[in-house]
Every structure is written in C-alpha cells, then in structure tokens.
Amino acid sequence: MSNQTIKLGAGLRQDCDTISVMKAGTLRLSKPNKYWVESSHKRYVPCVEDTVLGIVVDSKPDNFLVDIKAPTLAFLPVLAFEGGTRRNIPKFEVGTLLYVRVVKANNSMNPELSCMDDTGKAAEFGPLKDGYVFETSTGLSRMLLSSPTCPVLEALGKSLSYELAVGLNGRVWVNAASPSTVILVSNAIINSEFLSGVQQKIMVEKLMKRLQ
Amino acid sequence: MGVMAAVGGDGDGELVTPGELLGDSSKMIAGRGAYVAPNGRSVRASLTGIRRVTHPQPDAADQRSIVEVVGHKAHGAVPQPGSVVIVRITKVMARTASADIMCVESKAVREKFTGIIRQQDVRATEIDKVDMYLSFRPGDIVRALVLSLGDARAYYLSTAKNELGVVSAQSIAANHIVSRQLLTVTVILRYC
C-alpha cells in the first residue's frame, strides 16, 4: 500500500505500526480511505444515530424503559417527542412497538433514545400500530436498508403493497391490508438473508405463484 | 458485668468487651471507647477492642494515664462535610455518578461509605452542559469534597474546584492516565 492516511472504523485497531482486527467479519472499504469490519449478529450493540425498533417494557416518571435487543434496557425520556411538554406526556402501554433513534450509547450507561430527529421534528419516529414484528440478524437489517433497494423488497413491491419498518437492531415490522400478504412478505424477507440478488427474485416469484 | 481487668501498665493489649472494668478513675482518664461509670469511681469500656494505656506528658496538668479501647471500626475515619475524600467511581448514570469512598483526608476508611456526584456539582462553570460520561468513567480515582451527609444512601460530593477531580484513570487500551498534579507529588517524594 502506498503512503496514505486511512480511517479505521469498527473492528479495526492500530497498535503502534500494525493494524489488527478485533472482530470476525468481512473487511469493507469505502472510498477514498475508510476501512471497517462488518459482521452479522443476533445481538445488537447500540450505536449513536442508529434507528431501531424498540418495545416498551416499563414506564417511570422521567423515562420509558425500552427493550432494543441490547445488553441493557434503553431509556426514552418522556419529553423526547415533538412538542413534548410535561402536560402532554404520551402514554405507552407495555408492549408498544416504537421506531426510535439512539442518542447516547456507551458501554457503562443505559442507552438513551429519542422520538425526534436532530432538528426536533417527529420525522417518522413514534409508535407503530397493527402489523407484525419479527426478529432478524443485524446483517439482514443492514441489507434491507441498503441503497439501491434490496432485490427482495423491489420484487415484492412490484406486485404487492405493504408497509415496512426496519430496525438496525435486528427487528422488522411489516404491515399490509391482508394477513396473507403480511405472511408472504415476512417469509420472503427471512428467506432472503443468504441469497444473491437473482436468487432473491426467483424466490419471490415462487412465493407469489403459491399465493395465486 | 465484666471480669476485673488489671489496672495500670499490665493488661495493655488485652481484648476487652463493653462493660469491663478498665481501671479506677483516680488513676485513669477515660479516653476513646471508655467512660466513667455512674458511680464516678470506675472507668469501664464501651466498645469491643484492644485496651491501650497512654502515659501522660511530663508537663501535663493532669498526671493520670489515659486508657482507651482501640481497634473498633467506629474509630475509623468518617467523612465529614467539608473534608476532602478520595473515591473510586462505581457507576456513571445520566445525571449522577456513584462512588465508593476510600480515604478521608489521608486516612483509609474502615467501613463502606457511598458518595454521589450530581451533574451540577461536577464543575463550577456551564453546569447544565455537563456530560457525565465524558467527566467520569467507572474505575476512575477522584479527589472530591464532601458537601453534606446527603440521604440515607450516600454522601453528596463535589468536584467543582481546581484541585478536585479525577486524579488517576485507565484508558480503554488499559494505559494508565495520571493527573499532572499527582505526577509532581510523586517526583518530589522520590527526591526527598
């Protein structure tokens, strides 16, 4: 390698003159100079600015306790909503599914969440009603969120209409008009984890035929 | 009541229990852990510990020896409001940090004391912009001032002065970080 400054991301560490790998996974490069190691896990390690799907477990006077598949429960302050004041605190029942953003995450404190984006607007954060939730690995979540659109989602979107929310913590929410559509979309997504783009399209066609 | 313990120089270093006779009040002054019995004549122990007799200074007004009971944890250092303590941070949370008090002034404590450093007591300026995680990590050694006895669970501590704050810590790569002030002190001691 020629003389250049490179940026080390997750999973890489510099020890004096050598760069060593700290995690098992694929080495990825983002031009011009960013390197990192990507791996897929069933467990989620909270990272700032990640959008995740959380389930409310408890509510305290100051924050909601939300499960985001992390080692500890996360705190969602009751005022972290657009136009949130002490007078209009939302009431979430235990088990409510929320689409939230991670604001603070370090290894000795509970992660902190927010239902607003940087500017203070609600964006699309908040509770998700109806639909069906299932768990995936973090690698599959990242693939579903990659751009250009993931082949399986594109193939499904050609013939079906459905709503999808993907959390980087390995949770996916699907909603559609009829239950059979929901089941088909969920199964297609779960099956697509280790298939290539072409294989994903073929798999979706086979499932569509079964629906008819 | 207790067994009669020897009076005077003998019996020094003996284990005594509360109520035991330590001596006669005409020959002994009751020190720590001892008291003069209601009848005014005997000095008895009030704690469990080792009996120790201190002989009076040659020029002291009262020439009686002082008898005390030492070795009990009630005589260990206890944090008082206004004293400087050395603590180890145990937990860092959004607005407070919990700490274990290890030394008071320069004496180690004999029993467990907990302290809390609140967000507004971390520093003197910009107190609402304090990020607890950037100020303290679990395992840091901190020099703090006791503000008050606090509540039933913990003393309230403050690091809002120039000479207070983290003095020693370990980085993520397990490198030892020491405050410059502490380094200066170490150098002086070595060259004395």
ipTM computed for the complex: 0.71
Q: What is the pLDDT of residue B154?
A: 94
Total count of domains within chain A? 3
Interface contact A75-B92, CB threshold 8 A: no
Check B94 against A109: CB less than 8 A apart.
Answer: yes
pLDDT, mean of residues A147-166: 92
Interface of B with A (CB under 8 A): 91-94, 132-133, 137-138
The pLDDT score that the predictor gives to residue B10 is: 53
Answer yes or no: do B94 and A112 touch at CB < 8 A: yes
Q: Which of A74, A105, A127 is the last residue of a domain?
A: A127
Tens digits of per-residue pLDDT, B90-142? Answer: 999 888 999 999 999 888 888 899 999 999 999 999 998 999 999 999 999 99
Helix (H, G, I), strand (E, B) or coil at A133: strand
3-state secondary structure of A127: strand
Residue B157 or B60, more confident: B157
Query: Which amino acid type is present at position B61?
Result: A
**Position A94, amino acid:** V
Is the same domain home to A57 and A113? yes
| pLDDT value of position B183 | 53
Chains A & B: contacts with CB separation below 8 Å = 15
Cβ atoms of residues A141 and A150 within 8 Å: no
CB–CB of B159/B145 below 8 Å?
A: yes
* Burial (0-12, 13-18, 19+ Cβ within 10 Å), B126: exposed
Cα(A139)–Cα(A192) distance, integer angstroms: 11
- Are A109 and A142 part of one and the same domain? no
pLDDT, greater one: B32 or A183: A183
What pLDDT is stored for residue B8 in this prediction? 45
Model confidence at B190, pLDDT cuts 50, 70, 90, reads very low
Same domain, A32 and A89: no
| DSSP structural state of residue B112 | E
Show residues of chain A in contact with B133, CB under 8 Å: 104, 106, 108-109
pLDDT attached to residue A84? 87
Contact of A183 with A208, CB cutoff 8 Å: no
The reported pLDDT for the residue numbered B31 is 87
Q: Which CATH number do you get for residue A206?
A: 3.30.1370.10
Range scoring the smallest mean pLDDT among A8-17, A60-69, B50-59, B176-185:
B176-185
Write down the pLDDT at residue B74: 66
> In this predicted structure, what is the pLDDT of residue A95?
94
Crossing angle of helices A151-159 and A197-211, rounded to 10°: 30
Does some domain include residue A30? yes
**Which residues from A are below 8 Å from B92, CB to CB?**
108-109
Q: Which of A108, A110, A112 sits opposite B138 (nearest CB)?
A: A108
The alpha carbon of residue A108 is apart from the nearest alpha carbon of chain B, in Å, by 7
Mutation site for A-interface testing, chosen from B133, B136, B140 by largest number of A Cβ within 10 Å: B133
Residue B12 has pLDDT above 80, yes or no: no
Among residues A102, A127, A152, the one where a domain terminates is: A127
Residue A44 lies in a domain: no
Q: Are residues A112 and A58 in the same domain?
A: yes
* DSSP tag of B188: H
Domain check: are A106 and A154 in the same one?
A: no
Residue-level pLDDT at A147: 83
Residues A136 and A206 both lie in one domain: yes
Kindly state whether residue A1 falls inside one of the protein's structural domains: no
Distance CA(B73)–CA(A153), nearest Å, equals: 69
Average pLDDT, chain B: 83
Same structural domain, A122 and A143: no
Task: Answer yes or no: is A43 within a domain.
Answer: no
| pLDDT of A44 over the 80 cut | yes
d(CA A70, CA A104): 13
Give the residue on B whose Cα is nearest the Cα of A105: B133
A198 lies in a domain? yes
Mean pLDDT for the stretch of residues B4-22: 71
pLDDT in tens, A98-130: 999 999 998 888 999 999 988 888 888 999 999
H or E stretch covering A135? strand A132-135
Mean pLDDT, rounded, for A54-61: 94
CB–CB contact B133 A109 (8 Å) = yes
Q: Are residues A57 and A118 in the same domain?
A: yes
- Residue pair B8/B27 in contact by the 8 Å Cβ criterion: yes
Range of the domain at A207: 132-211
Angstrom distances, CA of residue A178 to CA of A130, A160, A166, A183, A189:
12, 11, 20, 9, 17
- Based on the fold, state whether residues A96 and A144 are members of the same structural domain: no
Domain membership flag for residue A45 = no
Q: What is the pLDDT of residue B181?
A: 62
CB contact under 8 A, B93 and A109: yes
Residue in A109, A112, A113, A114 to test binding to B, most B beta-carbons within 10 Å: A109
The percent of residues above 90 in pLDDT, for chain B, comes to 40
* pLDDT band of B62, cuts 50, 70, 90: confident
Beta bridge partners of B157: B117, B146
Do A136 and A200 fall into the same domain?
yes
Q: How far apart are CA B6 and CA B152, in angstroms?
A: 42
Chain A residues close to B93, C-beta within 8 Å: 109-110
Which chain B residues contact residue A106 at CB under 8 A?
Answer: 133
B91 chain-A contacts, CB cut-off 8 A? 108
Q: How far is B174 from chain A (nearest CA, A)?
A: 13
Q: Which of A104, A108, A112 sits opposite B137 (nearest CB)?
A: A108
Q: What is the DSSP string of B24-87?
A: ETTTEEE-TTEEE-TTSSEEEE-SSEEEEEEPPPTT-SS-PEEEEEE--GGGS----TT-EEEE
Examine residue A25 and state whether it is found in any structural domain, yes or no. Answer: yes
Domain-ending residue, one of A127, A152, A170: A127
Strands B107-118 and A97-104: what pairing? unpaired
Mean pLDDT of chain A: 91
Using alpha carbons, list the distances in angstroms from residue B51 to A94, B48, B55.
Answer: 62, 9, 13
> Nearest-CA residue of chain A relative to B139?
A108
Q: Tell me whether residues A108 and B94 touch, CB distance under 8 A.
A: no
B49/B72 Cα distance (integer angstroms): 6
pLDDT at B35: 92
Based on the fold, state whether residues A138 and A153 are members of the same structural domain: yes
Percent of chain B with pLDDT over 70: 86
Asked if residue A142 is part of any domain, the answer here is: yes
Q: What is the mean pLDDT of residues A144-162?
A: 91
Spatial contact of A58 and A65, defined as CB atoms under 8 Å apart: yes
Inter-chain contact A104–B92, Cβ cutoff 8 Å?
no
Burial A72-83 (b: 16+ CB within 10 A, else e): ebbbbbbebbee
Tell me: pLDDT of B184 over 70. no
- Domains by residue range for chain B, with CATH: 15-71 (2.40.50.100), 84-191 (2.40.50.140)
- Looking at the structure, tell me whether residues A112 and A168 fall in a common domain: no
Residues 6+ apart with CB under 8 A from B189: none
